[in-house]
Amino acid sequence: MTVYTHIAENKRRTVIFILVYIVLITAVVYFAREFYGFDYGFVAIAAIFSIIMSFIGYYAGDKVALASSGAKQVEGRDANPYIYNMVENLSITAGLPIPKVYIINDPAINAFATGRDPKHSSVAVTTGAIEKLENEELEGVLAHELSHVGNYDIRVMTIVVVMVGIISIITDMLMRGMLFGGGGRDNNKGGGPLALVGIVLIILSPIVAELIKLSISRKREYLADASGVLLTRYPDGLAKALEKISLENRPMARASNATAHLFISSPFSKKKFASLFSTHPPIEDRIKKLRGM
């Protein structure tokens, strides 16, 4: 499979997952309206609230992520010529504005990119990555992170978070309404088999929505791996970096659930979460795909 095939496949699957979200929201709203008598007002409230919260995260999330990880900005080339020049060269190759560069004082090997678009982007890398990775390995990691910026992954994930928020709020309001007897119609059709399907859908849809979100996050990681290879033209650089990461079981000192999905690898202990609920695909699978390019 070529790099271009990987890129096309992961973009296509992201679109499919987002379409599944739309179908899921439509189904929940249909059952809420047809069988339980809820009007569309609560849907509008859920959408507005979710969009407002997501926009706050969209415009301020990068500052929160950098502050929570303890990242310190590299103030110009002279402050750290090695890392600054590498980011600058990769940005020029990718046709991207040079992002702000940050260093996280942590011995774990990790890095992340954030920012709502290429003009407002930042790349952060740990001291562990700088010290333990060879030049081509670190270049592969940074190319991966810059690919997140170029692929507008923050924007994609913001759209996904809005959809997950809408589903979660709607189903929470429906559950509360049904428990406390609200939202019923005089001609409520709640006794039929379709109504039972609706109840199951309302209960399970938040879980399904979260799993789809995690799947999209993993597909964007594969996409960034493939896009990063286009920058460096050396898949083995990133593959070797991921191998070194996989050998570590060192969690980052300031790991956070809120920012875990941003990093190239989970900032937690590799044994903390089951792979089904991880924001990252298995490292072994990523290495295999890179070596197959």
* Closest by CA position to 164, among listed 213, 220, 219, 214: 213
Q: Which two tokens stand for residue 94?
A: 């990718």
What is residue 50's three-state secondary structure?
Answer: helix
Asked whether 116 and 154 are in contact (CB, 8 A), the reply is yes
Cβ neighbour number for residue 93 with a 10 Å cutoff? 14
Nearest-5° angle of CA 255, CA 257, CA 260?
70
Rg (CA), the chain: 21
Does residue 9 have an active-site annotation?
no
From 34, 145, 243, 284, active-site residue: 145
Asked whether 189 and 35 are in contact (CB, 8 A), the reply is yes
Active-site amino acid positions: 145
